[in-house]
Structure 1
Amino acid sequence: MVYLSDVPPSSKPGALARSAWNTRGWTLPEFLAPKVIRFYQSDWTPYLNNRSSNHKQSVAIMQELEDATGIDAQTLVAFRPGMINALREIAMGVDACHHGGGRHRLPIMYGEKKQKALGRLLQEIIAESGDITVLDWVGTSSQFNSCLPADIASYEAPPYTLPSISEDEMQRSVSSLQDTAVVELALGLYSSLDRLSAPHFAHRRLHLPCIAFPVTEVRRRSIEPKETYFTYRVKANGLHDLKITTEDRIHHHAVILRTLRP
């Protein structure tokens, strides 16, 4: 049972999403845990006048919570630990871990900024599962750790751009690669990748399994006066030429390229 003290009688759809109940840290775990839940307005009448025995079965209420939280309704209704991948756990766990909830055991830090809470959650996910898909993000890096994003929105998929070549050209390119790889070399690479250690954090430092490629040349493209990014063209043994764009200046003597386990 959830009492919505700030939701007046006869409220319209959307009142639940705007309620202070949705801003409390324990909201997510206390909603996911029970199989049956009912919402009551300030006068103790059922929310949206829904008098069913379980509001988790209300399509309208679950859709409202899905829109408010970004978590799909099916997961809200029938959540169980282990049913979601790392990236979904991130979306569900930021507010929960912020106040000690979720299935990852994190110390409670009241008043903690969301950026740090997100960083601690991501660090814990990598430490427990070794899943490095949490490093697949686009946006501003976190002050907690530069390998991690500052905001959950960094995991939103960027706009998809169709390939510039036709499907026939793509098929011909793929076909041309057949029988060009040496089996022994491929097996050797597979064995090397399989022996790499699992990713982990230690003292806020991310340790990733890697294979090093010696860098032979780094050239910085000349920049315009108003540009804030540096673009580098990098050559390395064993790799095609690379183009790297970053806000940071690369020190040539410290450059090393790494490939992660797929």
Structure 2
Amino acid sequence: MKIGDETNFPYAILSHAWGPEEVLFHEIQGDRAAIQGKAGWEKTVRFCKAALENGYTYAWIDTCCIDKRISADLSEAINSMYRYYYNSALCIIYLEDVHSYNKEADNSRKAITREELLARIRTTRWLTRGWTLQELIAPSRRSYFASDWSEIEDGDDLLDTIAESAGISRRLLEDRDLLHRVCVGERMKWASNRQTTREEDIAYCLAGIFDVSIPVLYGEGGRNAFRRLQLEIMRMSFDMTIFAWRGDYESSGLLARSPADFRDVPPLALGPLEMVAPYSMTNTGLTICLGLGFQSRAGEQKIGRQASGEQLNVAELPAALLCEVQILGQWKVPLVYLEPVTDVNLFINGQRRKAYRRVRCAEWLTLSYEQLKDYTYDDIIVLEDENYDFICRARERHKWQLQRGLSSNDSSRI
């Protein structure tokens, strides 16, 4: 039986960190005697038992309820996963590496204190996996189980431990419908320390959190998958916190390379709506309207990995993002460094646009709104890596022609 938005029966759903011996869809359909020795079999049985004990006759588990051999079924499940957990009546969270006891020398078990148990929960592998992020946020009701399938007593201290360890507001865990109020950059930050077995999954596992759908293309690479996720988010939102990341790159476009680029970012929020303009990705780069300055100004606060006393390169411009960052308790505007790309003319809708690249990507400036009023807003193009590489190849080709004194008609095509 399939579950979906039209499901009208209550069901329990399992959240867990995958292990090496999970029971898969095609195995559960065949000779079950052949799989009862797998570690995942006991997990499946104990989960179903826990669901029944909580009054649910239907249960769903991602290991054996998705036929991953069929790409259409896999893609549908991945893009529906957030809703599967959102629509569940109970999410049973199994923490396989959290033991509720200490093993004594005589193999007996000694109960541990609540404080010891919470300390173990803080370091559980479940909190480090990409897929379990949406499995934590989406359900309306959660029950946690230790390694021996003993239920972990609920309480404010447990909720605080989970929220703090996950870097998520407790209010959101109490009211999942507050998710839409959290800006894009903050949601990205939740995933910045999480890992997935397949590199593309670090993007796919976030689709539901941003309420978007993207095709599942295993083999495209994590960076390409994350780029497509960002493009889909941009298509649905003008939230510029998506550009408020820091990474150790000499130059880049405005798109991040992975959620890890948001790891050390201070608290982010949406900016005022006084200067909102659409932005979009084209085949020449990202067209966007940003406030541009021309030199480092008094009152600007530099944050990030920057040497003391370092000056702004004359070719670099600070560009204000239309969002806010909290620094020392004050909300300010973050500015990134842009460097002009010379010898190129780009036109959008008949209008010439200057081209830029983001540079010194590990650093920011911050500015108050009072200081920002002197900045000039301009429609520009920020080149992504593939756009910049294309321009560099074209520039090099024509530079070679000029050096040889050849016209484009005389030279061989490259």
1:22 maps to what in 2? 127
SS of equivalent to 2:98: coil
Q: Whose radius of gyration is greater, 1 or 2?
A: 2
**Gapped runs of 5+ residues in structure 1?**
159-189, 216-227, 236-243
Give the aligned partner of residue 135 of structure 1: 243
Shift of 1:117: 5.3
Letter of the 1:127 partner, please give it: R
How far apart in 2 are the matches of 1:43 and 1:202?
A: 53
Please identify which structure carries the higher strand content.
2
- Partner Cα distance (1:152, 1:82) in 2: 19
Q: Are the aligned partners of 2:246 and 2:262 in contact in 1 as well (CA < 8 Å)?
A: no
- Alpha-carbon spacing, 1:209–1:61, altered in 2? closer, same or farther (3 Å): same
Q: Specify which of 283, 286, 302 is matched with residue 206 of structure 1.
A: 286
TM-score normalised according to structure 1 size = 0.56
Q: Confirm or deny: 8 A CA contact 1:231 1:245 kept in the other structure.
A: no
Tell me the CA shift for residue 60 of structure 1: 1.6
What amino acid maps onto 1:136 in structure 2? Answer: A
Other-structure match for 1:259:
377
Kept in 2: contact 1:139–1:154 (CA 8 A): no
AA aligned to 2:253 is S
Deviation at 1:35, TM superposition (A): 1.6
Match status 1:4 vs 2:95: yes
Q: Pick the aligned partner of 1:232 from 282, 296, 314.
A: 314
Q: How does 1:57-76 map to 2 (within 5 A)?
A: 58-76=155-173
Tell me whether 1:84 sits opposite 2:189 in the alignment.
Answer: no
- Pairs aligned (count): 196
AA aligned opposite 1:126: M
Does the CA contact (< 8 Å) of 1:229 and 1:246 recur in 2? no
* Alignment of 1:156 onto 2:247: no
Structure 1 distance, partners of 2:224, 2:355, is 28
Closer/same/farther in 2, CA of residues 134 and 246 from structure 1, 3 Å limit? closer
Percent identity of the aligned residues? 19
Task: Please say if residues 90 and 121 of structure 1, whose CA atoms lie closer than 8 Å, have aligned partners that are also in contact.
Answer: no
Cα–Cα, structure 1 residues 62 and 131, in superposed 2: closer, same or farther, change >3 Å?
same
Q: For 2:254, which of 147, 155, 166 is the aligned residue?
A: 147
User: What amino acid sits opposite 1:5 in the alignment?
Assistant: E
How far apart in 2 are the matches of 1:112 and 1:232? Answer: 38
| Cα RMSD (Å) | 4.4
Between the aligned partners of 1:246 and 1:117, the Cα distance in structure 2 is 26
Q: After TM superposition, give the deviation of residue 17 of structure 1 in Å.
A: 3.0
Q: In 2 relative to 1, CA 77–212 (structure 1 residues): closer, same or farther, beyond 3 Å?
A: closer
Q: Does 1:38 align with 2:38?
A: no
Is the 8 Å Cα contact of residues 204 and 216 (structure 2) preserved in structure 1?
yes
Say whether the 8 Å CA contact 1:140–1:154 is kept in structure 2.
no
1:217-259 deviations in Å (ceiling 9; x for gaps): xxxxxxxxxxx99711689xxxxxxxx99697x5655666872
Structure 2 residue runs without a partner (length 5+): 1-91, 102-115, 195-201, 269-273, 295-309, 318-334, 345-353, 357-375, 380-414
Q: Do 1:4 and 1:40's aligned partners in 2 also have CA atoms closer than 8 Å?
A: yes
Alpha-carbon distance, 1:38 to partner: 0.9
2:214 aligned to which of 102, 106, 119 = 106
Offset at residue 43 of structure 1 (A): 1.4
The answer as to whether partners of 1:104 and 1:125 remain within 8 angstroms in 2 is yes
Supply the AA of the counterpart residue of 2:255.
L
